[in-house]
Copies of this chain bind each other. A is one copy, B any other.
Amino acid sequence: MLNVAAAENESVFITLEDLEDLAQGAAFLGTGGGGDPYIGRLMATHAIREYGMPEIIEVDELDDDATVLPAAMLGAPTVLVEKAASGEDIDHSVKRLAQLVGRQPDALCPIEIGGINSMIPIVAAARLGLPLVNCDGMGRAFPELQMVTFHVYGVPATPAVIVDERLETVIVETNDGKRAEDLIRAAAIQMGLSVMISCYPMTGRDVKDYGVKGTLTLALGIGRAIAQGRKNGEPVESLLAYLRSTEYYNHCKVLFDGKITDLRRETTRGFSMGHCELAALDGSARRMTVLFQNENLVARVDGKTVAVVPDLICIVDRQTGQPVTVEAMKYGQRVKVIGTSAAPIMRRPESLAVFGPQAFGLEEEFIPIEKL
């Protein structure tokens, strides 16, 4: 069991039983995107059965000069739900990156805890017999490769290795994180928009300084809170109570309670782009619009911004608390839209320059959710 209250330096483990809650919590942190963790959970289940459970370590357990490699899936969520990975492709991306940097990895880490990329590093760690660090680079999900704290603080994204299901491999080398994203996206589109990636090779020091810590544990806690609340018929209340107890997501609220009345969604330039509109269920004429690029970017009620990136905008089923991804949205669906604060490192000016509202072409300035 991944012990949510593990004592410092005490090793914690993920078990098969944890995966469902972890996937649920990761779907919430995916803020509509990140890829549905369902397929990732199947892959993680398979990998743990075959190779055993990977050890989860805390950031503080890393030596400063340790080599830490991220493992992730990259592509359009609309494709990810139709196409799994073999596992060999995950191994190959990590091993090829290790060859290119000339160092064996001491640990792997998630780069994005939201969505399927909570699960891919578990698969990789299990298959490769490596520990997995309990952290990521955003504490949520984001659509582009440079939208991560490691990039904000100057860790080069490359060499970046992307691998498809035939083990065809593309390696990108550039000092410019946004160009790395452009080049990798172009290759990923050519490779069928669902590839494995290992990039941002890091030292233990990098991970300690720039990682968003404890996010595997937090995702599991979120999933458990939803599951436990569901037993009492109050999943959203249970979820909010848990979020309020956390360091990052403690400013949280139900932004809207409504049904989806309009939905525009297209897969273009390698992303799921669009918006949805919701009508209030309280009999008022209030309407919410949520814009997304893979992930939900901004929520506005009657034109007034109520939450905006990098704060989290998460749509959940109003009865079950089940997170609703952009792909799963349906006309007429009754949902609650929950907003939460992002981790403090995500809200700094240097971070907002990379993944604040302007980075997505939005007009609004970032205002923390607790001030909106």
Q: Which residues from B are CB-within-8-Å of A174? A: 166, 168-169
CB of A187 within 8 A of CB of B173, answer no
Q: Which residues from B are CB-within-8-Å of A182? A: 190
Minimum distance in angstroms from A271 CB to a CB of chain B: 15
When C-beta atoms are compared, the residue in chain B nearest to A96 turns out to be B173
Q: Which residues from B are CB-within-8-Å of A128? A: none
- On whether A186 and B190 interact (CB within 8 A), knowing A170-B170, A171-B170, the answer reads yes
Query: Once the chains are docked, how many angstroms separate the CA of A176 from the CA of B96?
Result: 18
Q: Give a binary string over A290-326; 1 marks a CB under 8 Å from any B CB, 0 the rest.
A: 0000000000000000000000000000000000000
When C-beta atoms are compared, the residue in chain B nearest to A172 turns out to be B170
Name the one of B168, B176, B187 contacting A187, with C-beta atoms under 8 angstroms: B187
Minimum distance in angstroms from A369 CB to a CB of chain B: 36
**A345 lies within 8 A of chain B by Cβ:** no
**A81 lies within 8 A of chain B by Cβ:** no
**A130 lies within 8 A of chain B by Cβ:** no
Q: Which residues from B are CB-within-8-Å of A190? A: 182-183, 185-186
**A265 lies within 8 A of chain B by Cβ:** no
Minimum distance in angstroms from A75 CB to a CB of chain B: 14
- On whether A169 and B172 interact (CB within 8 A), knowing A183-B190, A190-B182, the answer reads yes
Q: Which residues from B are CB-within-8-Å of A186? A: 186-187, 189-190
- On whether A191 and B183 interact (CB within 8 A), knowing A168-B173, A173-B168, the answer reads yes
Q: Which residues from B are CB-within-8-Å of A171? A: 169-173
When C-beta atoms are compared, the residue in chain B nearest to A99 turns out to be B100
Minimum distance in angstroms from A269 CB to a CB of chain B: 12
Q: Which residues from B are CB-within-8-Å of A183? A: 168, 170, 187, 190-191
When C-beta atoms are compared, the residue in chain B nearest to A174 turns out to be B168
**A179 lies within 8 A of chain B by Cβ:** yes
Minimum distance in angstroms from A181 CB to a CB of chain B: 10
Query: Once the chains are docked, how many angstroms separate the CA of A171 from the CA of B168?
Result: 11
When C-beta atoms are compared, the residue in chain B nearest to A179 turns out to be B168
Q: Give a binary string over A183-220; 1 marks a CB under 8 Å from any B CB, 0 the rest.
A: 10111011100000000000000000000000000000
Q: Which residues from B are CB-within-8-Å of A187? A: 170, 183, 186-187
Q: Which residues from B are CB-within-8-Å of A176? A: 166, 168
Query: Once the chains are docked, how many angstroms separate the CA of A173 from the CA of B179?
Result: 20
When C-beta atoms are compared, the residue in chain B nearest to A190 turns out to be B186
Q: Which residues from B are CB-within-8-Å of A172? A: 168-171
Query: Once the chains are docked, how many angstroms separate the CA of A187 from the CA of B182?
Result: 9
Q: Which residues from B are CB-within-8-Å of A179? A: 166, 168
Give 28 pairs: A residue, B residue, CB < 8 Å, sorted on A: A166-B174, A166-B176, A166-B179, A168-B172, A168-B173, A168-B174, A168-B176, A168-B183, A169-B171, A169-B172, A169-B173, A169-B174, A170-B170, A170-B171, A170-B172, A170-B173, A170-B183, A170-B187, A171-B171, A171-B172, A171-B173, A182-B190, A183-B187, A183-B190, A183-B191, A186-B186, A186-B187, A186-B190
Add 9 more A-B contacts to A186-B186, A187-B187 (CB < 8 A).
A166-B179, A168-B176, A168-B179, A169-B174, A170-B170, A170-B171, A170-B183, A182-B190, A183-B187
* Chain A to chain B: the 3 pairs with minimum beta-carbon distance, closest first: A186-B190, A171-B171, A168-B174
